[in-house]
Amino acid sequence: MNGLRGEPMDSVDSSFLTSNKFEQFIRIGDYERNQDITLSIPNTEGVYAVVSPHYPEKRFLIEGTGGFFKRKNPNVPEHVVLKNWVEGTHILYLGKAGGTDKKGKISKAALRDRITTYIKFGYGYDIGHWGGRLIWQLEYSRDLLIYWRICNEGENPVEIEKMLIRDFEDRYGKMPFANLRH
């Protein structure tokens, strides 16, 4: 897999995405020019990954671009951003759309709606996508790619996301940069 500028993505990250069946992606910044770009995202349950196409750098904004959902400031202090940074990976966040949690709560969210809400939150809309909000404190958030994977019948996106985060933690010793909990 190559980045936007033709730079090869780290083979470990590329292998992680490929082996976990992430196939398609959109660039966050393309939403600005064409909001219909999200129509290419399947309207079904699945998981998604926010990935830097080039080697990610520690270039943060004190005031990110995320919306203030329910008047809550989505920004965290710089020391929190730095504490969450993960060196050596292009994968910055792992999320889910749909599934059943351990308490039996069912989410009917689809990839298209969840990713669209995520992007809109990053463009400053006051809508609820609190997870992954550290992404919007990166100077280059518009360059990031969102890959997705459809869950097959019988697969639970909640469990797939947990497995992906565990695999990531095994490799890097901590959760992806913008995953604050799981």
Q: What is the pLDDT of residues 104-145, one digit of tens each?
A: 999 999 999 999 999 999 999 998 778 899 999 999 999 999
The residues spanned by each domain of the chain are 11-172
pLDDT tier at 3 (50, 70, 90 boundaries)?
A: very low
Q: What is the pLDDT of residue 5?
A: 38
Once rounded to an integer, what is the mean pLDDT over residues 159-172?
96
Q: What is the pLDDT of residue 6?
A: 42
pLDDT tier at 10 (50, 70, 90 boundaries)?
A: low
pLDDT tens column, 58-76:
999 999 999 998 889 999 9
Once rounded to an integer, what is the mean pLDDT over residues 154-172?
96
Confidence (pTM): 0.92
Q: What is the pLDDT of residue 7?
A: 46
DSSP the chain: -B-TTSPBPPHHHHHHHHHTT--EEEETTHHHH-GGGGGGS-SS-EEEEEE-SS-----B-SS-S---GGG------HHHHHHH--TT-SEEEEEEESEE-TT--EE---HHHHHHHHHHHHTT---S--TTGGGGGBTTGGG-EEEEEEPPTT--HHHHHHHHHHHHHHHHSS--TT----
Q: Is the pLDDT of residue 42 over 70?
A: yes
